[in-house]
Amino acid sequence: MEFNIALLRGDGIGPEIVDSAVDVLKKTAEKFGHKFNFTPYLIGGAAIDETGKSLPDETVEGCLASDSVLLGSVGGPKWDSQPPSNRPEKALLGIRAALGLFTNLRPAKLYSALKEASPLRADIAEKGFDIMIVRELTGGIYFGERGRRNGENGEEAYDTECYSKMEIERIAKVAFETAMKRNKNVISIDKSNVLESSRLWRETVHEMAKDYPEVTLTDMLVDNAAMQIVKNPAQFDVIVTSNMFGDILSDEASQVTGSIGMLPSASLGATKRGMYEPIHGSAPDIAGQNIANPIATILSASMMLRYSFDLEKEADAIDNAVNKFLELGFRTADLAGNTGVKTLSTTEVTEKILELL
């Protein structure tokens, strides 16, 4: 099979980690008889330096013409003086909107070889966990009506949480279909004991569940979910939730893995085309030093194969290579901590994973 992939290397360590993922994708294509065509486009600070715009029209057009997009990272203090409308981070919102991406998939997995790095109690970490958080990305309180006004107690501010049934249906569909590829278990998180928007959320998710009789659906209030992620994370398979709740819970889940450098993500819309990126930032302080951990980006590329191209065996091959890499005791600087283990450079990590493929 042949696919066209747009590369948004971006800023900081972005070019290094994207290039590592491209090497892994090339080896995977060779191994399984596919062809991946890669076309680079500018975004973020790099685009500002070259064109004056954080999101050039050419980048949007190129991404729309691609089968999927692989993003490194954007931003850095160099561009802090840019107006808000042209900040590197603004380009992320722009490209998500242009591609119609309404779903964010954030895996949070505790690798057996890294369980000592988790802040969780040892007996909890020992059980391990592999959570997929399905977060609604373009609705809710972040996009609702907002403003300031004079109230009984003087000046006040308000933000409105609003969800349509359509928005809930389409995110629930992603969650159920994701669960069908995993352990067929969905926990829907809301605050239906207080919020009317959550009541519609719960009703709609239950209606959608009728189309997926093989999937077990459970409801959980968000405050309880925040506790359960640190008390018993192994109970979660797929979590589906609103924009604001997902924003908070996905960050909590990422921290209990103990390793932000290992965590990929995907943003998806109504088509197979998605945008895949690591959840960490651009790390300008280590850019160009060949010490960045490329694994989150490599795993983002694996997610691209799985969710956009339906190449399950190929994605499994990358995931298994990463698992083997960790089990053999190889570490990057961010994974080694104070263990005294010899750390590998970005290039060396890539070479080892290519060998294990």
pLDDT of residue 339: 65
Strand ranges inside the chain, DSSP E: 2-10, 35-40, 68-73, 103-110, 129-136, 146-151, 154-159, 185-190, 216-221, 238-241, 264-268, 274-278
pLDDT of residue 136: 96
CB 279 within 8 A of CB 240: no
pLDDT of residue 220: 98
Q: Would the CATH topology of 1-102+267-357 be identical to that of 119-256?
A: yes
Per the structure block, which two tokens stand in for 178?
């994701």
What is the fold of 119-256? Answer: Isopropylmalate Dehydrogenase (3.40.718)
* Domain spanning 1-102+267-357, CATH architecture: 3-Layer(aba) Sandwich (3.40)
pLDDT of residue 281: 85
Nearest to 105 by CA among 266, 246, 276, 298: 266
Per the structure block, which two tokens stand in for 259?
């390793």
pLDDT of residue 70: 98
Sheet containing strand 129-136, strands side by side: 35-40, 2-10, 68-73, 274-278, 264-268, 103-110, 129-136, 238-241, 185-190, 216-221
Residues serving a catalytic function are 142, 191, 223, 247, 251
R_g of the chain, CA atoms, integer Å: 20
Map out the domains of the chain as residue ranges: 1-102+267-357, 119-256
**Other CB atoms closer than 10 Å to residue 163's CB: what's the count?**
23
pLDDT of residue 338: 62
pLDDT of residue 137: 92
pLDDT of residue 241: 98
> In the chain, which residues have pLDDT < 50?
none
Per the structure block, which two tokens stand in for 302?
């694996």
Reduced to 3 states (helix: H, G, I; strand: E, B; else coil), residue 132 is: strand
Distance of CA 282 to the CA centre of its chain: 15
Taking CA atoms, 211 is separated from 4, 207, 208, 215, in Å, by 33, 8, 6, 9
